[in-house]
Structure 1
């Protein structure tokens, strides 16, 4: 749609209608498109793909209107409708837009054509660098180069992360009033919004199709189509004023999650395999800031993942969900792995627990819980409480399965997940999947697997991938694309693993700030030393992100969802104050001489403890003795990277 601006309004024109947004009062008005002829000071500033919504904070952040600046087509999810990924946004306010929109071909002299629907290549480049080696020695050197590349990238990535944390702390020193200064808040919120939308590849929409619902709910919808699933309608609060106007022309439902469509070939048959994940907007947030359940029965990191196979006129869909353990719990503190704690009493927790599963049963019919937390150690507290509340609920429509992932898969034997898949095989068979053709529904999925670990990220990714693979094998047999009792065809392994590995990375970035751990196994089916080193690097990054960035991001997410209403609720990460005090020159260092880094000595000691602890946990979580000795090499590498980076920071070498 075209975007015009006047001194008082931004005007959006689509077909024979126009939407006017007042730059001061944030009021929307719908008019006929030809009303523009009476406006004198009007200017076309470009085109947009749609309106994300309005965000504001009284007395601090005046109303800002977010629109889609760039979008990329990712493929057809529900034929024949295209799904688009938001690549960047533009924020409109009382001042000029913070970014230039794409040129409007009707009102510019530029010869470059910029269509409103930017249909670029639908298939992402996922091919891994290949090419067979002519000799074993060449393969050996290739492996060594990859490992050394991982070592070097570890130091560079940690260096960049530390520098970002230092820059963030420096900004706090320069601002005498800090977070209370209005212009500082406005700039920080705008920057964070761009990071959330422009850098995470997390937001998707479709012009003609509702992607908040899975295929089965589409089939069960009304004659005019299903209503949007409000759980996954991410920008519902931001466009609430447009929704009340009851004009669908301007309403663009957006989901946060993941969408990818892969073309596949088996023999002479061509089809597509797609994966779509929808993150709930309820109790949305970051890893250590949002855990457990709230009073309305909403869980943190709740994601519905749908695997869709499209073959000729047939579409087969299988849905799984993940979500935090639905009890009141948290992990406060600055330790690498803070011990979990229960925050409320049994009776109050049971009420929220039952409210959560009442909604789950209403939506999915029956629920099979798969709990992957450890049955000993720190996680035992959460696992035992979960089981106790399931027993108290005593609902015949629920099945509870425990699988201590770290115990069963010790020594990197992730293939042992097959024991879990075999155990739940009968339940998966009775659960079925949704199947439809050009004449309508053939069968429906009767229940759902609800998988969780502590973060509902890394272990959950591995198990959901294994379940999705087993269901896909069954679907291929039903369609006649594969004989019974055979593994997934070789031609399908790569696209299947790429889909699930990319899904795990994106979901992890949204919740924890880094790619998923154990991603090398999900992507290739093998666990390698380079993958372990990346896991150590991502774990250290997660620690820094959760302490140096997550608090403010959580506030911005709450602001988008209407959960933050006052300036006093907006705050930055508390640890920044401590970090600023440590790097301030006039302060006396608490411990001198450690690593010759002066005031940062305690922090370097802390980092050494973090990495060493991580390597020990790798041994506890499934690394045998031979690989454990190799994994310990990661510790000095990352510690030295931190050391040199922080030394440069102290002496101003950056």
Structure 2
């Protein structure tokens, strides 16, 4: 997937699909890939793996576009569905300012023999301002006051601190996973619902575990089929997939070491499908997430704090066996202030309250 920078937009392009993200107001629109010809001086910044969504870290800061910069293959679910873990992200401010070095992998098609992406050439409108004399610039722009300089420095520090925290969430926790073809939000039993089988993947997901739904809500609200390609459901939790071979004829260790035991060829009873796929998937709800002692109980919509669904899955002989466990906070209205001295829980509503 290629990332282009134009004068007024950042453009994501993959095959026949393109997503235009405005650098003026942050709006996103799905457009045909051929519309790249209409962009003003587009420059390829490099390759990305996918779109997470759009976020505003603070009201004083511009909207930011969060992209998957690097992924790692976790394994393959039954049916050759690949599952990936997000290992690195890139955050691009949706503003007219030049982005910092994103450290993206260079696109071989647009960067053959080039070490770094080219910078945008100034447009004719911008060039005429550069022709102004120094005296004209001084007359039009007043010298910044000390207060203004201090505010700008504080804003830069705030932005840097929030970005560092955002990078840590993705790069240090190792807890964000996705698949382009497999629904990680639903158990095997819920996936058996045939009523949704013909819908795009993001419309089949369990809303509780669609972690980045708020970040792509603008695309969802467009309600056009062109956005289906760009909406990738991401879960927060843990995923591990392993393939195992069970040898039913294998002898115990003590028999192997005995000189009287003849050597046996290690064979599996099932010569056609000797492999078992074992998967462990933990999904954390996006509702009422938080620190254990600071987020307790249930809300008025029935969502309990820190709800997690863990599924153990075994697939063999075209059959899937699934065991699901759920955990969460006690489903009553209660809270707990502090955690240093083991404070007693406080009930906030009784069964008579509505």
CA distance in 1, matches of 2:344, 2:101: 43
The C-alpha deviation readout for 1:435-476, integer Å capped at 9, x for no partner, is: xxxxxxxxxxxxxxxxxxxxxxxxxxxxxxxxxxxxxxxxxx
For residue 342 of structure 1, the aligned residue among 322, 340, 347 is 347
Contact 1:69 1:90 survives alignment (8 Å)? yes
Contact 2:293 2:338 survives alignment (8 Å)? no
1:230 aligns with 2:180: no
Contact 1:91 1:98 survives alignment (8 Å)? no
The C-alpha deviation readout for 1:177-197, integer Å capped at 9, x for no partner, is: 99x943333222211111111
For residue 290 of structure 2, the aligned residue among 285, 288, 298 is 285
For residue 159 of structure 2, the aligned residue among 172, 186, 191 is 186
Structure having the higher strand fraction is 2
State the match for 2:12 in structure 1.
12
Going from structure 1 to structure 2, the CA distance change for 1:266 and 1:111 (only over 3 Å counts) comes to farther
1:242 aligns with 2:219: yes
Contact 1:24 1:63 survives alignment (8 Å)? no
CA distance in 2, matches of 1:74, 1:110: 33
State the match for 2:280 in structure 1.
275
CA distance in 2, matches of 1:318, 1:110: 52
| Residues 258-407 of structure 1: pairs in structure 2 closer than 5 A | 258-267=238-247, 268=268, 269-333=274-338, 335-348=340-353
Residue 2 of structure 1: how far off its partner (Å) = 0.8
The C-alpha deviation readout for 1:10-64, integer Å capped at 9, x for no partner, is: 1001211211101231111222212222434211111111111111156323201
Contact 2:77 2:277 survives alignment (8 Å)? no
Contact 2:47 2:107 survives alignment (8 Å)? yes
Residue 287 of structure 1: how far off its partner (Å) = 1.9
The C-alpha deviation readout for 1:122-158, integer Å capped at 9, x for no partner, is: xxxxxxxxxxxxxxxxxxxxxxxxxxxxxxxxxxxxx
Residue 210 of structure 1: how far off its partner (Å) = 2.0
The C-alpha deviation readout for 1:559-584, integer Å capped at 9, x for no partner, is: xxxxxxxxxxxxxxxxxxxxxxxxxx
| Residues 390-539 of structure 1: pairs in structure 2 closer than 5 A | none
SS in 1 for 2:170: helix
Q: Count residues with an aligned counterpart.
A: 284
CA distance in 1, matches of 2:52, 2:285: 17
SS in 2 for 1:290: coil
CA distance in 1, matches of 2:348, 2:101: 43
CA distance in 2, matches of 1:333, 1:289: 7
| Residues 565-576 of structure 1: pairs in structure 2 closer than 5 A | none
Contact 1:91 1:97 survives alignment (8 Å)? no
CA distance in 2, matches of 1:254, 1:99: 22
State the match for 2:231 in structure 1.
251
SS in 1 for 2:198: coil
Residue 312 of structure 1: how far off its partner (Å) = 2.9
CA distance in 2, matches of 1:346, 1:305: 30
Runs (5+) with no aligned partner, structure 1: 113-176, 352-654
For residue 202 of structure 1, the aligned residue among 167, 175, 178 is 175
State the match for 2:108 in structure 1.
105
What is the TM-score of this pair, normalised by structure 1?
0.41
The C-alpha deviation readout for 1:518-546, integer Å capped at 9, x for no partner, is: xxxxxxxxxxxxxxxxxxxxxxxxxxxxx
Contact 2:294 2:338 survives alignment (8 Å)? no
State the match for 2:34 in structure 1.
34
CA distance in 1, matches of 2:57, 2:72: 31
Going from structure 1 to structure 2, the CA distance change for 1:304 and 1:78 (only over 3 Å counts) comes to farther
State the match for 2:130 in structure 1.
none
CA RMSD in angstroms, aligned pairs only? 2.3
Residue 244 of structure 1: how far off its partner (Å) = 2.0
CA distance in 2, matches of 1:210, 1:257: 14
Going from structure 1 to structure 2, the CA distance change for 1:9 and 1:111 (only over 3 Å counts) comes to closer
State the match for 1:473 in structure 2.
none
Going from structure 1 to structure 2, the CA distance change for 1:295 and 1:65 (only over 3 Å counts) comes to same
Going from structure 1 to structure 2, the CA distance change for 1:281 and 1:23 (only over 3 Å counts) comes to same
Structure having the higher helix fraction is 1
The C-alpha deviation readout for 1:316-371, integer Å capped at 9, x for no partner, is: 112111111111222212525333222333423xx5xxxxxxxxxxxxxxxxxxxx
The C-alpha deviation readout for 1:178-226, integer Å capped at 9, x for no partner, is: 9x94333322221111111111011111112222111111111324157
CA distance in 1, matches of 2:31, 2:344: 57
Contact 1:279 1:302 survives alignment (8 Å)? yes
CA distance in 1, matches of 2:175, 2:101: 21
Contact 1:49 1:69 survives alignment (8 Å)? yes
SS in 1 for 2:283: strand
